[in-house]
Amino acid sequence: MSPSKTIRADLLGQVFNHLVLPPEIPGSQDDDVDLVSQNVLSRLIQATEVAINLTPETLWQEAFRDIEDSLNICIRLNRGRLERNSLLQHFKNLIPGRMLILYLNEQNAGLLIRHDERCVPRPVVLHPDFLHPKRPLLTALTSEDEAWVIFESFEASASSSHVLAAGHAMQWDFPGRSARILLESFTD
């Protein structure tokens, strides 16, 4: 197992508290949050490896491999500050099925960036000459393959003071905002 995938048993309590419980003091952050975050990612990668081994030679295996690759990229990108050159390199290598997972600490935001190639339905109005004279003008759907880059943002975590003050279950909607641009425009 590579160093980025090292799972530390001594961090299990901190990982659980980080994922499930708010910090003990509202407005404060967990001790060594980067180490805990790396450990969470390592556990997720290990879980995808188990899933890959349980789904040999199936379409699911490819999906789990894409998740594993995305999580490994996430570990590399989110160590300390986001570096411009590293981001640009990962933008160039973005392929369908995989995503970039970024944490923007100052904005308390997560950002998912993914390359999507889909068959996009397009409305087409059929000319009356192609139709039977007694039938009305029709609108049909055709498909055109287009490649997109999709950005999805969301609040990374609610402040602990809001969580502790809530007298009910909190609801969280994903994504917060999203946008897409043509891959051709993105690569310009």
* Mean pLDDT (the chain, rounded): 75
Reference 49, options 67, 35, 37, 36; nearest CA is: 67
Residues 127-148 have a mean pLDDT of: 52
Residue 101 has pLDDT above 90, yes or no: yes
Query: Rounded CA gap, 188 and 185, in Å?
Result: 5
Query: Rounded CA gap, 88 and 58, in Å?
Result: 33
Report the pLDDT value the prediction gives residue 127, as an integer from 0 to 100: 46
Residue 53 has pLDDT above 90, yes or no: yes
Q: Is 57 left (phi over 0), alpha (psi -120 to 50) or beta?
A: left
Residues 151-158 have a mean pLDDT of: 81
Total tally of structural domains belonging to the chain: 1
Residue 11 has pLDDT above 80, yes or no: no
Q: Which domain holds residue 30?
A: 3-187
Residues 167-182 have a mean pLDDT of: 73
Q: Which of 19-33, 53-67, 103-117, 124-138 has the lowest mean pLDDT?
A: 124-138
Report the pLDDT value the prediction gives residue 27, as an integer from 0 to 100: 54
Residue 104 has pLDDT above 60, yes or no: yes
